[in-house]
Amino acid sequence: MGNCINHPDRETNYICMKHNIFLCEECLECRDPDIYCKFRPSCPIYFITKKGFESSENETEKKEYTVIFEPGKKKVTVSAGTNLLKASQKADIYVNASCNGKGSCGKCRLIIQSGKVDSKKTSLLSDKEKEKGYVLACQSKILEDIIVKIPEETIEKKLKAAGMGEQATKKLSGLVEKIEPIVEKIPLQLDLPTLEDTVSDLDRLTRALKKLGYDISKMSTNIRVMRQLTASVRNDHFKVVASVLWKKCSSEIVDVSPAAHDEKKSLGMAVDLGTTSIVVYIVNMADGAVLSAASGHNRQAACGDDVINRIICSEKDGVGKLKKMAVSTINNLTKRALDSIEEDHKQVENIVISGNTIMTHLLLGIEAKYIRREPYIPTVSQFPIMKAGEIGLKAAPYAGVFVMPGPAGYVGGDIVSGVLYTGFHQLEEFTLFIDIGTNGEIVLGNNEFLMTAACSAGPAFEGGGIRWGMRAEDGAIEKIILAPDSFEPAYSTVENKPARGICGSGMIDLLSEMLLKQLIGQDGKFIMEPDHPRFTRFNDEPAFIIEFGKNIDSEEDIIFTQSDIKSLILSKAAVYAGFSILLEQVGMDFSSVHQMIITGGFGQYLDVEKAITIGLLPDIEREKFKYMGNSSIAGAYMALLSNTFRSRAVAISNTMTYLDFSSNNGFMEEFTKAQFLPHTDANLFPNIHKTKTRKESVSC
């Protein structure tokens, strides 16, 4: 008897002898059904996985059914009893599943147009939605051939400006003075062979490199290059271009081509591997110019919005599944970016990937499960130079891949990239840095020290766990103001499309407006009149109607519930508590902070004043706040072009001191205090208190 690896609160008798782990009945599935296992003849888990509970002596072949997804008529065949979420994943169709298929978020809404499914009862769908045929994909098992419609509010739309932001994009120019690629292309004129000089082609190549001053004592090559040599050196009279992959303690000749054939640009690729979205920049390695860019949703979101759900999914379904999702997302974005400039993926010879520790582990197919178990240790913190072909990236197979190092399990290379780009680690004054997104990572420091931590803010700012929450896609409400008396909302949406939901910046605006207009109290509880036309109830809890269904395509009211408010308050409380504890650890307070740098795609649309009003950001001088765009992709760009910056990234990571909040009693105290609007201690927000008092006086 032991505890299930996925559900520690459940005891079970089922043990996988190969991996020495316990699995409850819900998790019973052989992890390696297609490879040899000496325990298999007596393994009940394998027997149940292959045969099922309903097998009999006259077992017949398991039925399969066809699922057609509209719009697009994407067809996929699955076994009877498969749920719609897994069917959509098999069809490579994006369906948001914030809760990783637990049926608790209500995001994976689909419409059954024909056919039958076995759906569990849920309170997350309104009666009106049920009448229209809505079901939750994760809670609906397929019983026959069906046609499913992806509703308008669920269809994946274009993300808003997931790149750098105009100001930061301009700053890319001139960041790197000397270009030092991972894979260097070296033009060579080899000595022509004679009867007096009969050394081999490979010796002739290395001799030419030595003449140019390169250290060949630790330089190797591979069988692919050896096979290339005969034709390559003779195709252009022994004029060649050798591509050398530089590593820390060695180097390798990875490609040799005739000089006459080497006319195409050598390209590089910088990747921001985000939990929510992925951004790809294609760069000219000759001059550092950004030639094209593409961004899109990380397909892993189908396994949950946050990193913990991703780890759980990898434990249940295998790391390979998560790896495939991330690699396919990057490859699709790479193709889109390259197609726009009519270049070939084989020209991409240098790659830098910047992401949090869990995302990089899953991309590389490395187990991440121990990062969520005390003492939260990653498998790798500093990655060696790899090749694109080893990872499965769409590039030259020998392309050098540098993964930004990370100091801890919950603070990764994306934060190191941020410090590298912003450069505050070289300043004497103290800086408080935060990357706001699906995760909330904080750094405090200057040129003498760097202290970092991750606050478990959860995915609320990206729409996770919020009834009508969504990412900053077309149609997301991003700005909102409530009229003083009628509380009539005036809002703007991404790309001015019809409203489909509300994103993080819109939610912060709304919460601030509701507090200042006295629709909710300091505890976040509704105090508005129940008979007000904007007041409603959903699942027996009060809610505010942002937009009436009659005015939008979904025909469902877009609402903001009491539970939504609670989720947002918990998220902002975690961030503010993180600031407070980091400062406390070094005997400082907010008055000691010279500047506060905000980065991340979400931060670009953040209204600082309203973020302070709800207690997400500290009430300090407004001129101290500085937004610096997507610092993760900017740092990746710098490391792509320069070995100096790659080395500096490693040094920054090694300098950082990680503070674990999970074992810090002070954090829980601060977290509890911050679960009010803006805070239980009004003295911490004097300017907001004055504003609120002034508004109350005017109202009276």
Per-residue pLDDT reduced to its tens digit, 260-317:
877 788 999 999 999 888 999 999 999 998 988 888 888 888 888 788 889 998 998 8
Model pTM above 0.85: no
Between CA 471 and CA 572 the distance in angstroms is: 17
pLDDT digits (tens, 9 = 90+) for 384-412: 999 999 999 999 999 999 999 999 999 99
Task: Please give the CATH topology (third level) of the domain spanning 183-261.
Answer: Ubiquitin-like (UB roll) (3.10.20)
Q: What's the Cα-to-Cα distance from 226 to each of 194, 202, 229, 532, rounded to whole Å? A: 21, 7, 5, 79
Which pLDDT band, with edges at 50, 70 and 90, does 10 fall under?
confident
pLDDT at 700: 35
pLDDT digits (tens, 9 = 90+) for 51-73: 554 444 444 355 889 999 988 78
Which secondary-structure segment (H or E) carries 325? helix 319-339
The 10s digit of each residue's pLDDT in 627-652 is 988 899 999 999 999 999 999 999 99
**What percentage of the chain reaches a pLDDT higher than 70?**
90
Better-predicted residue by pLDDT, 220 or 127: 220
Domain 64-149, CATH homologous superfamily name and number: Beta-grasp domain (3.10.20.30)
CATH class of the domain at 415-458+569-636+664-690: alpha beta
Q: 336: which 2 tokens? A: 């889109």
Average pLDDT of span 360-375: 94
Q: If you ran DSSP here, which 8-state letter would residue 461 be given? A: G
The domain ranges of the chain are 2-51, 64-149, 183-261, 415-458+569-636+664-690, 460-565
635 within 8 A of 417, measured Cβ to Cβ: yes
Let me know: does 211 contact 229? Beta carbons within 8 Å.
no
Within 8 A by CB and 6+ apart from 2, the residues are 11, 12, 15, 22
Query: 194 — phi, psi (to 5°)?
Result: -140, 175
- Asked if 599 and 279 count as a contact pair (C-beta separation under 8 A), the reply is no
Q: Are the CB atoms for 338 and 282 separated by under 8 Å?
A: yes
Give the pair of three-digit tokens for residue 192.
Answer: 């022509």
Q: Do domains 64-149 and 183-261 have the same CATH topology?
A: yes
Q: 């670009």: which residue's tokens? A: 604
Which of helix, strand or coil describes residue 135? strand
Question: Which of 54-58, 78-82, 127-131, 495-499 is the least confident region?
Answer: 54-58
pLDDT of residue 17: 75
Contacts of 379 (CB under 8 A, 6+ apart): 361, 366, 367, 368, 370
Query: 3-class SS at 199?
Result: coil
DSSP H or E run through 558:
strand 558-561
% residues pLDDT > 90 (the chain): 58
pLDDT at 101: 74
